[in-house]
Structure 1
Amino acid sequence: MSIALLNADLHCHSNVSDGTLEPEALAARAQTNGVELWALTDHDEVGGQRRARDAALALGLPYLTGTEISVSFAGVTVHIVGLGFEADDAALVAGLAATRGGREARAREMAASLAQAGITGAYEGALQYVGNPELISRTHFARHLVDAGVCPDTNSVFRKYLTEGKPGYVPHRWAALGDAVRWITQAGGAAVIAHPGRYKFTPTEEYALFSEFVAHGGRGVEVVTGSHTTAEYEKYADMAVEFDLLASRGSDFHAPEESRTDLGALPWLPGRLTPVWEAIADRVQRP
């Protein structure tokens, strides 16, 4: 089998950040769904790594350490996935803690804004869905508003309340792109641009993101991911070739009832690309 046809799923979230399943349950779901290489990539957090690794290895599933770091670029929140790093690296752990630090204040501002729109108690409501209080996020607010009957599903909550220009939206200043890439690479890992098709950049801004990312030492881009269309698979395959980047693949799975793509259910990477897992094969932890 071509190494590009490995069923690797290197992007998903547990309840240590904004997913709904425990790391152990995610490992079991990945293994059941035929995943052959797995990474848990919780937002700005590595607290679930040991549990995820131990559960995966016990199931015979090879594992890569992972995280997803929020950065600000050209006024937009961009996510950088880190893979194959030392999870206890001091600089990485400190950087992630600093990035998480502003979430509570932001959440309280979001709740105040929603209250002005007639939705009270949103902060307390969102907390009921939070596994890790340091990582309260828009997703937790969305789940609360769905269960409270404000909107029929989380996508409609985001459209109506939680995106820029809407009543519950509050921006947050995340890490700098260069900082995130440096934390990952100095901890022995590979930095990957997550789901680039989701960012509403102009072509010039997107080119600048890729150029600066590479200049800082970034090594890969998610080509096949849960939020990309078939046309975007091809677009970002071409950009991977243009910028000499490794290609990654991940469902971005959060919850059985919410995620559009399940663990292990993605199409294959285009064969002309070099998979990120080939370049960091020495970082894969095996049973």
Structure 2
Amino acid sequence: MNAPINADLHCHSTVSDGTLEPEVLAARAKANGVELWALTDHDELGGQQRALEAAQAQGMKYLTGVEISVTFADVTVHVVGLGFDHTDPQMVEGLADTRDGRGPRALEMSNQLAKVGIHGAYEGALKYAGNPKLVSRTHFARFLVESGVCRDTSEVFRKYLTEGKPGYVEHRWAKLGDAVRWITQGGGIAVIAHPARYNLSPTLEYALFTEFKQHGGQGVEVVTGSHSSAEAIRYGELARELDLLASRGSDFHSPTESHVDLGKLPPLPAGLTPVWSQLRDRIH
């Protein structure tokens, strides 16, 4: 039996859509008792070396990480990669191709918002983006809160940035098989992130996990910031049923926006195999 450790294997820095630098995140994780950490910026590896060095400086164990956006059955699903070679050329090139679509999408989102009287949204979102190639809905949401259009980012998403609302623009992401292959060919393990968030029908969810496993995916995020305790139990049962490794991560973005702080998650349900138990030789 593996002794439970405080692993937080899902969070974001200013390299994608978080508000803290990788070094600040590392210090926060350490202060909150995290023993094994991974930075998983969206479709971007630019913070990995910084995070690795910061974790080592804090005396904390580290796994390389990324969160890749994929399109599955016309739904955007996120796949977390852990323990891969962050210099692997196939992943670096694949993620660059995926990111290229974000710039035009951001401009189109701004145009749509202008039509409902919200002007200057692209420039406003850019102020919050540490990486101009990764302007996302989260950056637009922060601008709309700052400019007084909405009270908080949740209200922004509800009114403007989800499907059918004025600022929503669909983007075709990587294919599920490509994302899993980039991770596994680099020596890592692929994990379906926060599965409860996708609101898939039971049939579609089964199809997602079946295809994911066929491509070589091995894990599912059971305990995460957006899962209720009931959802953690449900996906723990799914992990057992499908023989998947269980992961745990806060999905922390910001001290003022995130539901759960780094390292403050409940433990994995009993009887699961933690993803990190299969990545011992990849831990820095």
Residue pairs, 1:79-118, within 5 angstroms: 79-118=78-117
Where 2:54 maps in the other structure, the secondary structure is: helix
Deviation at 1:118, TM superposition (A): 0.7
Partner residue in 1 for 2:233:
234
Partner residue in 2 for 1:211:
210
Where 1:192 maps in the other structure, the secondary structure is: strand
Amino acid at match of 2:33: G
- Structure 1 stretches lacking a partner, 5+ long: none
* Conserved? CA contact 1:86–1:188, under 8 Å: yes
* Conserved? CA contact 1:4–1:268, under 8 Å: no
Distance 1:140 1:229 in 2: 26
Distance 2:2 2:174 in 1: 33
Partner residue in 1 for 2:148:
149
Partner residue in 2 for 1:21:
20
Partner residue in 2 for 1:35:
34
Amino acid at match of 2:31: T
Deviation at 1:182, TM superposition (A): 0.2
Q: Deviations over 1:9-37 (max 9, x none)?
A: 00000000000000000000000000010
The CA RMSD over aligned residues, in Å, is 0.6
Distance 1:4 1:77 in 2: 35
* Conserved? CA contact 1:4–1:273, under 8 Å: no
Amino acid at match of 2:272: L
Partner residue in 2 for 1:63:
62
Distance 1:38 1:271 in 2: 21
Distance 1:270 1:164 in 2: 33
* Conserved? CA contact 1:13–1:253, under 8 Å: yes
Q: 1:4 to 1:72 in 2, by over 3 A?
A: farther
The number of equivalent residue pairs is 284
Partner residue in 2 for 1:131:
130
* Conserved? CA contact 1:40–1:49, under 8 Å: yes
Distance 2:116 2:256 in 1: 27
Deviation at 1:3, TM superposition (A): 2.8
- Structure 2 stretches lacking a partner, 5+ long: none
Q: Deviations over 1:24-82 (max 9, x none)?
A: 00000000000010000000000000000001001100000000000000110000000
Partner residue in 2 for 1:53:
52
Are 2:226 and 1:221 equivalent residues in the alignment?
no
Distance 1:258 1:7 in 2: 22
Distance 2:3 2:18 in 1: 27
Amino acid at match of 2:197: R
Where 2:62 maps in the other structure, the secondary structure is: coil
Deviation at 1:4, TM superposition (A): 5.6
Distance 2:176 2:146 in 1: 35
Distance 2:247 2:139 in 1: 27
Deviation at 1:149, TM superposition (A): 0.2
Partner residue in 1 for 2:161:
162
Where 2:233 maps in the other structure, the secondary structure is: helix
Distance 2:149 2:207 in 1: 39
Where 1:221 maps in the other structure, the secondary structure is: strand
Q: 1:74 to 1:4 in 2, by over 3 A?
A: farther
Q: 1:274 to 1:4 in 2, by over 3 A?
A: farther
Where 1:77 maps in the other structure, the secondary structure is: strand
Distance 1:145 1:4 in 2: 44
Identity fraction in percent:
70
* Conserved? CA contact 1:7–1:264, under 8 Å: yes
Where 1:19 maps in the other structure, the secondary structure is: coil
**Structure 1 stretches of at least 4 aligned residues deviating more than 6 Å after TM superposition:** none
Partner residue in 2 for 1:268:
267
Distance 2:218 2:156 in 1: 34
* Conserved? CA contact 1:4–1:275, under 8 Å: no
Partner residue in 2 for 1:10:
9
TM-score by length of 2: 0.99
